[in-house]
Amino acid sequence: MEDNLKMIEAACSDVRQASRLLCSPSPAQLDRCAALLQAAVARLKERRGLPDAQRGAARPLAEALRLRTAIRRAGALLESAANYHAAWRRLIDAMSGGYAPGGAPAVVVRPARLCLRG
Amino acid sequence: MSGLSAAMATAAGALEAYDRVLEVTQNNVDNANTPGYAAQTQTLEALPFDLNSGALGGVSAGEVVSARDQYSEQAVRSATTALGAANQNLQSLTSVQSVFDVTGNSGLPYALNNLFQSFSAWAQSPTGTVERQSVLDQASAVASAFQQTAAQLGQVRQGVETQLQQTVDAVNQLTAQLAALNQQVAAGGQNDAGLDAQVTSTLETLSQYVDITASKQSDGATTVLLNGQAPLVMGTSAYQLTYQLAEPQDPPPDYPQGPPSASIFSGDNDVTSQITTGSLGALLDVENRVIPSYLGNAYQPGNLNTMAQQFADYVNQTLTSGDIDDRNPPQAGVAIFTYDTSNGADVAATMAVDPTVTSDQLAAIDPGPPPVANGIALQLAALANPQSSDGEIENVSYTEYFGQMASSVGAELSAATDNQQTQQSTVAQAQDLRQQTSGVSLDEEAMTLVQFQRAYEANSHLITILDELTEDAINMLLLT
């Protein structure tokens, strides 16, 4: 039971840290966020292999509910950041490509570009 | 300057301005396929026309405005509006929850429990004077508890109504400030960074209260719309909101004497339905949805009134179906609870024990057949733990029904607490995104947009897996 509890607590800590990174989303931060979420997934998968000695125990259940809240918060932050960039992209499409007959922004084909710096 | 050369200078200025428009347009066309390119707009500013002073009008080129800045500002304002709603929701629901004490040590659950115990004691001793008097005393305590709960919820409602007026006043004050700032812009402050900062700051403050869409016009003035529809500020005019409490007429009310609903007007137009978020939206929701679900309005009696009426009716009907003694002819029992029967949304607030009823008028005998000396008292004692639909309200006991009301507020409060914390982070995120795009070259941003999309997809996939795994874990832990 202790092992299970520790697994959930550690996963919760990973997800909360991911949420903090999502407050300042940049491609690099999002990569770090993905690594943390991946670690949380691995912990929960490991937990599944352990026997649940005390089903119905209050502490692990409370921690699992906290984990769910943390995941939903991270999900909300990810969604709001993704919406921000998706809407901006749609605006750019409309501004540079106009509108399709249905009123949706026109599909703008963007060829791959290579940017060299140095 | 002679008239001819002045006219030529005006024409030359106009040509130069249009030349710059063409340049910007050409730039937009060249970059049409550049990922992340923010199309730019060349604004044209009208020059004064006054023949007496020699001003011949015409146009000059203004600053190049990036649509991206307006987009980022609007994103911050939208997040601020959602936070304003979350903060207000949390505050109002905390007040509502304080009315529902579920510990059983005070309030309605405590009073009901005591009454059920007195019914039980009366069933043990159906002719006992002390037991009968105790039933009357505890019934009075229940009626007082209903009244007190209704009064406390009424006080919460009054507080919300005061806040509604204060919020509308704050909105009107801010829109008046924006109209005054527009006037300063029109008077030549179009490129004044200080003025611009004041407009931005005022818009951000305003967005806490209501969902606004702000757009900068070619003359530099800021137009503000409520939820993208009703105008709040246009040029130098501010459109004031007004708050009214009134009984709705369409559709015709089912409870004409029920508490009124709150409405917000812009001029003669009812814009209440447009105000769904921000602190004003949250206040309207508490006033028009949350509190009426307990205290009623023109279209519903409210759960507290429903509970009070059904409880009073059940006790009264049970008592009047019994006999006080076994004389011939038997003397029927009397009802003990009274309430305002003319207004279904006012039952809890007016519930009382009939002061003319005395303890020896309580009927304990169920006439049967066969007659049972304590049958009525037993039926009433069973209200504590009803074994059939008799004595239940919506398939649960009265105590459980009150508990359901309390848990519904608790669940809304818990969701509001989570939501407030998430919205705080969302505002910080929107401010960060605004900061990120400020001063970054469009080329650089174009590259990162592609990276963002990839990263969002990866993270979104992981969140879905995590959510599923956590649900599994919760279900496993819930199994006993």
Is the pLDDT score of B69 beyond 70? Answer: yes
Q: Lowest-pLDDT range, A66-70, B48-52, B432-436?
A: B48-52
Most confident of A103-117, B63-77, B245-259, B429-443: B245-259
Per-residue pLDDT band for B11 (boundaries 50, 70, 90) equals: low
Q: Tell me whether residue B254 is in a domain.
A: yes
Q: What pLDDT does residue B46 have?
A: 56
Per-residue pLDDT band for B1 (boundaries 50, 70, 90) equals: very low
Q: Tell me whether residue B280 is in a domain.
A: yes
Cα(B214)–Cα(A50) distance, integer angstroms: 55
Instruction: Tell me which residue has tokens 């599944």.
Output: A48
Q: Lowest-pLDDT range, A41-50, B169-178, B267-276?
A: A41-50
Mutation target for A interface from B453, B462, B464, B467: give the one with most A CBs within 10 A. Answer: B462
| Mean pLDDT within A8-19 | 94
| Mean pLDDT within B60-68 | 52
Per-residue pLDDT band for B37 (boundaries 50, 70, 90) equals: very low
Q: What pLDDT does residue A113 have?
A: 56
Any A CB within 8 A of B4 CB: no
Q: Tell me whether residue B62 is in a domain.
A: no
Same domain, B173 and B233: yes
Total number of domains in chain B: 3
Q: Is the previous residue joined to B35 through a cis bond, with omega within 30 degrees of 0?
A: no
Per-residue pLDDT band for B38 (boundaries 50, 70, 90) equals: very low
Q: Tell me whether residue B431 is in a domain.
A: yes
Share of chain A above pLDDT 90, in %: 41
Is the pLDDT score of B211 beyond 80? Answer: yes
Q: Tell me whether residue B343 is in a domain.
A: yes
Q: What pLDDT does residue B87 have?
A: 96
Bridge partners of B352, per DSSP, are: B338
E strand or H helix that includes residue A2: helix A2-22
**Based on the number of CB atoms within 10 Å of its own CB, is A118 exposed (0-12), middle (13-18) or buried (19 or more)?**
exposed
| Mean pLDDT within B189-204 | 85
Task: Answer left, alpha or beta for residue A25, where phi above 0 means left and psi between -120 and 50 means alpha.
Answer: beta
Give the tens place of pLDDT for each residue, B171-191.
999 999 999 999 999 988 777
Q: Lowest-pLDDT range, A16-30, B213-227, B449-463?
A: B449-463
Any A CB within 8 A of B132 CB: no
Same domain, B290 and B329: yes
Give the tens place of pLDDT for each residue, B408-419.
999 999 999 999
Per-residue pLDDT band for B90 (boundaries 50, 70, 90) equals: very high
Is the pLDDT score of A69 beyond 90? Answer: yes
* H-type alpha helices, B98-128: 107-124
Same domain, B73 and B45: no
Q: Tell me whether residue B23 is in a domain.
A: yes
| Cβ neighbours of B465 in A, within 8 Å | 41
| Cβ neighbours of A88 in B, within 8 Å | 68, 71, 449
Check CB contact under 8 Å for A68 and B453. Answer: no
Q: What pLDDT does residue B389 have?
A: 83
Q: What is the pTM of this model?
A: 0.81
E strand or H helix that includes residue B419: helix B398-437
Domain that holds residue B476: 448-480
Residues whose CB falls within 8 Å of the CB of residue B254, separated by 6 or more in sequence, listed in order: B298, B299, B300
Mutation target for B interface from A7, A83, A85, A90: give the one with most B CBs within 10 A. Answer: A85
Same domain, B149 and B254: yes
| Mean pLDDT within B412-432 | 94
Is the pLDDT score of B48 beyond 90? Answer: no
Same domain, B96 and B35: no
Give the tens place of pLDDT for each residue, B148-178.
999 999 999 999 999 999 999 999 999 999 9
**Residue A32 CB coordination number (10 Å):** 14
Is the pLDDT score of B425 beyond 50? Answer: yes
Q: What pLDDT does residue B162 have?
A: 97
Residues 381-420 of B with CB under 8 A from A: 418
| Mean pLDDT within B426-451 | 74
Q: Tell me whether residue B339 is in a domain.
A: yes
**Domain closes at, from B16, B36, B57:** B57
Any A CB within 8 A of B475 CB: no
Q: What pLDDT does residue B36 have?
A: 40
Q: What pLDDT does residue B168 have?
A: 98
Task: Check if the interface score ipTM surpasses 0.95.
Answer: no
Question: Under a CB-based contact definition with an 8 Å cutoff, are residues B232 and B239 in contact?
Answer: yes
**More confident position, B44 or B101:** B101
Write the residue in B39, B75, B460 that is nearest to A96 by C-beta: B39
Q: Tell me whether residue B267 is in a domain.
A: yes
Q: What pLDDT does residue B67 have?
A: 61
Q: Lowest-pLDDT range, A1-15, B223-237, B286-300?
A: A1-15
Same domain, B116 and B184: yes
Q: Which chain B residue shows the shortest CA-CA distance from A69?
A: B418
Is the pLDDT score of B25 beyond 80? Answer: no
Same domain, B8 and B105: no
Is the pLDDT score of B426 beyond 60? Answer: yes
Same domain, B261 and B304: yes
Same domain, B112 and B136: yes
Q: Which chain A residue shows the shortest CA-CA distance from B31?
A: A96
Same domain, B254 and B376: yes
**More confident position, B452 or A11:** A11
Radius of gyration of chain B (CA): 34
On the CB side of B77, how many CA atoms lie within 13 Å of its CA?
A: 26
Q: What pLDDT does residue B321 have?
A: 92
Q: What pLDDT does residue B64 have?
A: 42
Question: Under a CB-based contact definition with an 8 Å cutoff, are residues B58 and B13 in contact?
Answer: yes
**More confident position, B61 or B434:** B434
Same domain, B334 and B203: yes
* Averaged pLDDT of chain B: 85
Task: Please state, in angstroms and as integers, the Cα–Cα distance from residue A75 to each residue in B85, B147, B169, following that order.
Answer: 20, 44, 36
| Cβ neighbours of A115 in B, within 8 Å | 443, 447
* Averaged pLDDT of chain A: 82
Share of chain B above pLDDT 70, in %: 83
Is the pLDDT score of B43 beyond 80? Answer: no
Q: Lowest-pLDDT range, A15-19, B67-71, B145-149?
A: B67-71
Q: What pLDDT does residue B434 have?
A: 84
Residues whose CB falls within 8 Å of the CB of residue B8, separated by 6 or more in sequence, listed in order: none
Residue-wise DSSP of B125-171: STT-HHHHHHHHHHHHHHHHHHHHHHHHHHHHHHHHHHHHHHHHHHH
- The first and second tokens of residue B276, run together, are 């769904």
Same domain, B48 and B95: no
